[in-house]
Chain A
Amino acid sequence: DTAVSQTPKYLVTQMGNDKSIKCEQNLGHDTMYWYKQDSKKFLKIMFSYNNKELIINETVPNRFSPKSPDKAHLNLHINSLELGDSAVYFCASSQGYSLKDYEQYFGPGTRLTVT
């Protein structure tokens, strides 16, 4: 069984559109994350959620709105897509958000291409 799953795996869309990426984890973890990996392969944290509550927003434009309907899901909605949003987006989860919960489990990624 897949521990952290994301849909879709690939997403191609035009500038100005609104799109969502979904993430689900079946590990029973309390904390979930979104990361962005750009074309230069830099992987950066975007958001952290713990028990459906936002913990960290790493200066991400407000066009990005994460939503956590329950502990097992963390979706990412992006409004008014821009070319610079093209990247691979990774969802991850961990047991908790303190650093004793050091191991994060990553999903397979969603490759977003904005044309």
Chain B
Amino acid sequence: DAKTTQPPSMDCAEGRAANLPCNHSTISGNEYVYWYRQIHSQGPQYIIHGLKNNETNEMASLIITEDRKSSTLILPHATLRDTAVYYCIVRAQTGANNLFFGTGTRLTVIP
């Protein structure tokens, strides 16, 4: 699985969009980008995933660059409840469905 690099922490004002970057320069053609988050003292929660097209669901949007070497998770209107550690995970669509979490980005939403 490709390695990912994320900033260790970010702040975002409540109500503003939170843009969380992830670098995955060694990603290969069959590897997907997944995002999970972990709110303090809870288990991780799936957010979104994508291969090369931009994706949107009720929680967030995922923008993947054309060369697929980086992506951005966008929370359009951050709330205090979005304060969490966000993990970007890259893995192939083959093999067992094991998730390998990195260090993630600690997002703090400020009132």
Contacts and interface: CB of A to CB of B under 8 A. Distances in A.
Contact of A43 (B44, B91, B94, B95): B44
Given A99-B32, A99-B92, A102-B34, A109 B43 contact: yes
Contacts of A43: 38, 44, 87, 101
A103 B103 contact: no
A48 B43 contact: no
A51 to B, nearest CB: 13
A101 B96 CA distance: 10
Interface string B82-98: 00010100011111111
Given A43-B44, A106-B43, A48 B96 contact: yes
Interface in A36-92: 41-45, 48, 55-56, 58, 90, 92
Contacts of B32: 99, 102
A94 B97 contact: yes
Interface in B29-55: 32, 34, 38, 41-46, 49
B98 A58 contact: yes
Contact of B97 (A42, A104, A108): A104
A109 B41 contact: yes
22 contacts: A33-B98, A42-B103, A43-B38, A44-B100, A48-B98, A56-B96, A56-B98, A58-B98, A90-B43, A97-B97, A98-B97, A99-B91, A99-B95, A99-B97, A102-B49, A102-B97, A106-B43, A106-B44, A107-B43, A108-B43, A109-B41, A109-B43
Interface of B: 32, 34, 38, 41-46, 49, 85, 87, 91-101, 103
8 closest A-B pairs by CB: A106-B43, A43-B101, A99-B93, A103-B46, A45-B98, A97-B97, A106-B44, A90-B43
